[in-house]
Structure 1
Amino acid sequence: MTKYRARAPLRLGLAGGGTDVSPYCDLYGGQVLNATINHYAHCTIEPLNTAAIEFHALDIDQVEYHTACSHLKVPEGLSLHRETYNLIVERFNDGKPLHLRMSTSADAPPGSGLGSSSTLVVAMIQAYSEWLRLPLGEYDIARTAFEVERVRLKQTGGRQDQYAAAFGGVNYIEFRPEEHVVVNPLRIKSWIMNELETSLVLYYSSVPRESSRIIEEQVKMVEQGESEAINATHRLKEDAIRMKDALLRGDFEKIGQILNRSWEAKKMLASSISNSSLDETIAEARRAGAIAAKVSGAGGGGFMMFLVEPSLRHRLERALLERRGRLLPFRFCVDGVESWTVK
Structure 2
Amino acid sequence: MIVRSRAPLRLGLAGGGTDVSPFCDQFGGFVMNVTIDKFAYATLDVSPDGLVEFHAHDAGVCERVEPQAVEAGPGPLQLMKGVYLRVCNDFLQGERPAIRIRAHSDAPPGSGLGSSSTMVVALVTAFAEYFALPLGEYEIAQLAYRIERVDLQLSGGKQDQYAAAFGGFNFMEFYDADRVIVNPLRIKDWIWSELEAGLVLYFTGVSRASAKIIDEQSRNIKEGKASSLDAMHRLKVEASQMKEALLRGDFERLAQVMQSGWEAKKLSASSISNPMIDEIEALAMRHGARATKVSGAGGGGFMMFLCDPAHRVDLVRALAGAGGTVFDTHFTHQGATAWKIG
Does TM, scored on the shorter chain, surpass 0.5?
A: yes
SS at match of 1:171: strand
Spell out structure 1 runs of 4+ moving beyond 6 A.
none
Q: Partner of 2:105 in structure 1?
A: 106
Which stretch of the first structure deviates more once superposed, 316-325 or 46-55? 46-55
**Alignment check: 8 A CA contact 2:35 2:164 kept:** yes
Q: Deviations over 1:123-164 (max 9, x none)?
A: 000101111000000000000000011111111101000000
Q: Does 1:195 align with 2:180?
A: no
CA drift at 1:73:
4.1
Q: Partner of 1:264 in structure 2?
A: 263
Q: Does 1:291 align with 2:290?
A: yes
1:1-343 aligned within 5 A: 2-69=1-68, 71-76=70-75, 78-343=77-342
CA drift at 1:50:
2.6
**1:200 alignment partner AA:** L
**Percent identity over the alignment?**
50
Partners of 1:146 and 1:134 lie apart in 2 by: 17
CA drift at 1:256:
0.4
Q: Deviations over 1:84-120 (max 9, x none)?
A: 1110110111101111111100001110000000000
SS at match of 1:183: strand
CA drift at 1:61:
1.1
Q: Deviations over 1:297-327 (max 9, x none)?
A: 0000000000011111000000000011001
Shift in CA distance, 272/95, structure 1 to aligned 2, threshold 3 Å:
same
**2:4 alignment partner AA:** R
Shift in CA distance, 150/73, structure 1 to aligned 2, threshold 3 Å:
closer
**Alignment check: 8 A CA contact 1:56 1:103 kept:** yes
**2:208 alignment partner AA:** R
Q: Deviations over 1:316-341 (max 9, x none)?
A: 00000001100111110000000000
**2:28 alignment partner AA:** G
**Alignment check: 8 A CA contact 1:7 1:41 kept:** yes
CA drift at 1:74:
2.1
Partners of 1:331 and 1:144 lie apart in 2 by: 28
SS at match of 2:40: strand
Partners of 2:244 and 2:269 lie apart in 1 by: 28
Partners of 2:65 and 2:189 lie apart in 1 by: 48
SS at match of 2:84: helix
Partners of 2:109 and 2:69 lie apart in 1 by: 28
Partners of 2:143 and 2:46 lie apart in 1 by: 22
**1:80 alignment partner AA:** L
CA drift at 1:48:
2.1
**Alignment check: 8 A CA contact 1:70 1:97 kept:** no
CA drift at 1:75:
3.1
RMSD: 0.9
Partners of 2:177 and 2:117 lie apart in 1 by: 20
SS at match of 2:267: coil
Which stretch of the first structure deviates more once superposed, 60-69 or 185-194? 60-69
CA drift at 1:71:
4.5
SS at match of 1:267: helix
Runs of 5+ consecutive residues of structure 1 not aligned to the other structure: none
TM-score w.r.t. the length of structure 2 is 0.99
SS at match of 1:126: helix
**1:332 alignment partner AA:** F
**Alignment check: 8 A CA contact 2:59 2:76 kept:** no
**Alignment check: 8 A CA contact 2:198 2:309 kept:** yes
SS at match of 1:217: helix
TM-score w.r.t. the length of structure 1 is 0.98
Q: How many residues in Structure 1 have an aligned counterpart in Structure 2? A: 342
Partners of 1:207 and 1:190 lie apart in 2 by: 34
Shift in CA distance, 76/323, structure 1 to aligned 2, threshold 3 Å:
closer
